[in-house]
Amino acid sequence: MHARLLVLHVLVLTLLAVLAVRLYQVQVVRGQEFVTRAAETRTRTVMVPAVRGQILDAAGRPLVRNHTALVVSVDRIGLIRMPDGGLSVLKKLGAVLDKPVKLLQKRITPCGPGVGKPCWTGSPYQPIPIDDKVNTREALQILERQEEFPGITAEVHSVRQYPGGEAGAQMLGYLQPVTQAELEKREGLKAVFSGVDLVGRDGLEYVYDDVLRGKPGLRRVQVDRMGKALGVEQEVPPVSGDTLVTSIDSRVQAVVEEALQHAMKNAPKADGAAGVVLDPRTGRVIALASAPGYDPAVWAGGISASGYQRLLSDATGKPLVSRALNGQFAPGSTFKVSSVTAMLRAGYPLKGTYDCPGSFMVGDRPFNNFHGIGLGPMNLHTALVKSCDTIFYRSGYEQWLKDGGLHPSKPPKEVFANTARAFGFGKRTGIDLPGESSGRIPDRAWKKAMWTQTSGTACKRAKTGYPEVADKARADFLKRLANENCLEGFLLRAGDSANFSIGQGDVLVTPLQLARAYAALVSDGKLRSPRIGWATVRPDGKLVKRIPVPVVGKLPLSEKERLYIKDALSQVPSDGTAAGAFTGWPMDKIRIGGKTGTAEVWGKEDTSWFASFAPTQHPRFVVVVMVSQGGMGASTAAPAAREIYEGIFGIKRPPALPHGRTASVLPRFAPDGTVEGE
């Protein structure tokens, strides 16, 4: 018994000694550390998001602006730590906002495999905005009963607003939450991330995101043990993002959008259209439109799975995709400005006479003029005005033979392909927008590369045929074609070169590339990389910097040759293929030049093109219109271009641009950052 008591005493004394040592460590050795930590738990550091900069047109009118809204956000991490995973809080919140709990749960669920929209694409550690259309009464219910809504906040935020509706939606872009991957990947973003920031996902919002986003502020708030705010300990105000001034004119943009809608309505099978307006003197973009479009406001507050699929659906025409810079189409006869230049580089005389028969034999196959009509002898000027195909077929075929035909013995010159590249085709223009397509210039190297990729499929089809094709004649043709591609698909054939010369076959360009090429042709021969951004301006109205338009090349033409081609194009709307579309136009006051294009597409209606400029003497505008499945260029695209010029110059209605002048002076800003005179 005595031994047991002794052991118990020793044990108690040992425990007391351990406790004394621990108390000494806590109170003396690490006392200051724990005091500091305790003090830190009585403060909360809040990053205050900056107001995002506006996007303005060339006259200072807003293309994208901010408006204040009450936004309810959820701290998902805080909710899932609750015993019921925050379900009771979400039920109360759903009752206040009149939203089903399942929808709220979906909105705060991180996106991932098997998780459909709406879901949360941002960082899991930031508050998740779930409603940006909250009224004051709903917000007060949350704020006044904060103990019932832990992890729920209702604050005033700035929300993006698009005064033009659908106008230029693909060009302007949209905002989405910052993802955790972006925080780790984008240098400097994590350091200035406010926790509720949105970043640009497309268009100008993406390219100029760093400029527009601004710098968040800091607020350190003292709180009690229940988390209730007691006072502000420190505050650093946020710095608003800079304003982006663009060269876009919102009135011209609206005119182009309307013209595209009319063009598609008048061509029943049309499934898309694009319009580009450039200032050829500067290379700046005045309007950039794509149809069908969409309202960028759909991104605010999160987009549903069905809404997102609609933006990418073939059935709705993929409105999220900009046909102006992403759409790739055969350019048809608008491409002949490059082919005429190639002929000159190959040694054909500028003022020579060329026969324009109704048909020209390329090898053992006839290549026909439009409707097989022969126009007799003519010069290159008339060949452009009347759009004779057979002159170009002949020159393309002759140059193919000169290069060695199917089996060149030395490196071929490929003058047509190389001239097209000098016009900027086959590569991106470098415009200040993301995701631009490069188009395609199908030369011998391209043919070989394509054959390497597709020969396996072609050879398989050469054996199996196309049993799924009901039309036997069609199936037999496809099988023969597959066999030909299997054996000789790497060869550039004579027909390929003939089609290339009139912008058909495998040639693809974007409407923006074509507009850029025509701008160089009718101005000074210099190829520029178009720009939409013109300048950035601080919130106090002071200019930060101008955004230059770089010169990236020069057309392979002498000044005499360039003016010769320009003069020929100047007659197309009055005496050539576009004359019908411009009947009654006051050419004596405002002369328009251009070129129609009608590109055949197998199994579909033709692609309709019109590339133009005005006034012809000293061009201030280049207008390119493309209508997919629109039919002939003279019947669909050219009338749409005429409608755009009517809007610009004030024919039948007040002018979109007074006196037809593009902006050359930046808007004037007041000290508060507003535009003077607006």
CATH number for 531: 3.40.710.10
Given this model, what pLDDT does residue 519 score?
Answer: 98
Q: How many domains does the chain have?
A: 3
Q: Are 213 and 162 in contact (CB under 8 A)?
A: no
HSE toward the beta carbon, residue 358, CA cutoff 13 A: 4
- At residue 459, what are phi and psi to the nearest 5 degrees? -65, -35
CA distances from 220 to 50, 153, 521 (A): 16, 17, 60
Residue 185 lies in a domain: no
Nearest to 289 by CA among 208, 200, 170: 170
Structure-token match 């019932």, residue found: 148
Instruction: Single out the residue in 501, 520, 543 at which a domain terminates.
Output: 501
Same domain, 450 and 533: no
Q: Helices 415-422 & 390-402, crossing angle to 10 degrees?
A: 110
Given this model, what pLDDT does residue 678 score?
Answer: 54
CATH code (residue 467): 3.40.710
- 190 vs 183: CA distance, rounded Å: 5
HSE toward the beta carbon, residue 164, CA cutoff 13 A: 29
Residues 6+ apart with CB under 8 A from 24: none
- Residue 231: what residue type? G
Residue 38 lies in a domain: no
Given this model, what pLDDT does residue 669 score?
Answer: 82
Q: Helices 472-488 & 444-464, crossing angle to 10 degrees?
A: 130
Residues 6+ apart with CB under 8 A from 33: none
Given this model, what pLDDT does residue 302 score?
Answer: 63
Same domain, 360 and 414: yes
Residues 6+ apart with CB under 8 A from 664: none
Residues paired with residue 610 on neighbouring β-strands, in sequence order: 596, 625
- 85 vs 80: CA distance, rounded Å: 4
- 595 vs 613: CA distance, rounded Å: 10
Residue 37 lies in a domain: no
- 294 vs 267: CA distance, rounded Å: 20
Same domain, 316 and 264: yes
Q: Are 48 and 214 in contact (CB under 8 A)?
A: no
Given this model, what pLDDT does residue 520 score?
Answer: 98
State the DSSP H helix or E strand holding residue 597, giving kind and residue range, or none if neither.
strand 593-599
Residue 166 lies in a domain: no
Residue 613 lies in a domain: yes
Same domain, 386 and 519: no
Same domain, 345 and 444: yes
Global pTM value: 0.85
C-alpha 25: how far from chain center: 62
Residue 62 lies in a domain: no
Residue 212 lies in a domain: no
- 600 vs 499: CA distance, rounded Å: 11
Instruction: Single out the residue in 138, 155, 172 at which a domain terminates.
Output: 155
Read off the tokens for 629. 């499945």
Q: Are 497 and 416 in contact (CB under 8 A)?
A: yes
Same domain, 489 and 626: no
Task: Give the 3-state secondary structure of residue 545.
Answer: strand
Read off the tokens for 414. 């490929």
- 461 vs 477: CA distance, rounded Å: 12
Longest dimension (CA), the chain: 133
Nearest to 239 by CA among 172, 205, 270, 194: 194
Q: Are 51 and 114 in contact (CB under 8 A)?
A: no
Same domain, 419 and 458: yes
Residue 197 lies in a domain: no
289: left (phi over 0), alpha (psi -120 to 50) or beta: beta
Read off the tokens for 58. 């060339």
Q: Are 555 and 423 in contact (CB under 8 A)?
A: yes
Same domain, 490 and 540: no
Same domain, 433 and 551: no
Same domain, 639 and 543: yes
Q: 224-249 as b/e, with b when 16 or more CB fall inside 10 Å? A: eeeeeeeeeeeeeebebbbbbbbbbb
Instruction: Single out the residue in 501, 530, 558 at which a domain terminates.
Output: 501
Polymer length of the chain: 678
Q: Which residues of the chain have pLDDT under 70?
A: 1-5, 7, 25-31, 33-47, 116-117, 122-126, 156-157, 179-197, 221, 223-232, 300-306, 658-663, 677-678
Same domain, 120 and 105: yes
Task: Give burial (CB, 10 Å; 0-12/13-18/19+) of 411.
Answer: exposed
Task: Please confirm whether the linkage preceding 550 is cis (ω < 30° from 0).
Answer: no
Task: Give the 3-state secondary structure of residue 276.
Answer: strand
Domain that holds residue 74: 68-155
Same domain, 425 and 562: no
Given this model, what pLDDT does residue 131 score?
Answer: 77
CA distances from 299 to 134, 175, 188, 303 (A): 17, 7, 25, 5
